Chain A
Amino acid sequence: DIQMTQSPSTLSASVGDRVTITCRASQSISKWLAWYQQKPGKAPKVLIYKASTLESGVPSRFSGTGSGTEFTLTISRLQPDDFATYYCQQYNSYSPWTFGQGTKVEI
């Protein structure tokens, strides 16, 4: 199975900060990577799919880059509603889905 390594596991930031989370795949997944935001007691919410495509309705301060094995999620100016846990996920067709360990963005 493809392993996903996400960092950091916890990130302390302030409103207005630029925040970057990275995800590394153990082998190439082309652009088959998604980013999720999850708040306590809620289902994961898709932010970005296919590495860089913003899901409809997601604010433009979120962006994703990368291909192959290295990916990043950037929040350009952190807002109060953005404090949450973020996960990356690979969804290569020929492999079971796997997820990063999560990054908790806290004040």
Chain B
Amino acid sequence: QVQLVESGGGVVQPGGSLRLSCAASGFNFSNFGMHWVRQAPGKGLEWMAFIRFDGSNKYCADSVKGRFTISRDNSNNTLHLQMESLRREDTATYYCAKEGVQLNWGQGTLVTVSS
């Protein structure tokens, strides 16, 4: 069964960096595009980034363009989100999700940007 496990969240100061990871199992990771979605405390869901199955194309939301980078390691079934120049408004739970007809999400990792 599909399993997605995020890690790497924590508390970081404004202007700092963080790298999130998402370990995938239960499906052929290299065949599927992957997304990052975030949810600020008490707010709705916001799509962040997408990477094609082979890493050939990447897309980011305008709100994080130039600061966040999505990448993947198909040999290790892992998705990453490199976050730079973090702002207080980036505080959120970050979820990875698998594309496809049927959708699968991880349980999320909390990022808190605070001094």
Chain A residues with a Cβ under 8 A of chain B: 34, 36, 43-44, 46, 49-50, 53, 55, 87, 89, 91, 96-102
Contact = CB atoms under 8 A, between A and B. Distances in A.
10 contacts: A36-B45, A53-B102, A89-B103, A96-B59, A96-B61, A97-B35, A97-B37, A97-B47, A99-B44, A99-B45
Nearest to B44: A102
B94 to A, nearest CB: 11
A34 B108 contact: no
Lowest 9 CB-CB distances: which A-B pairs, in order? A97-B47, A99-B45, A43-B107, A102-B44, A96-B47, A43-B108, A46-B103, A49-B102, A101-B44
A102 B19 CA distance: 29
A87 B47 contact: no
Contact of A99 (B47, B61, B101, B106): B47
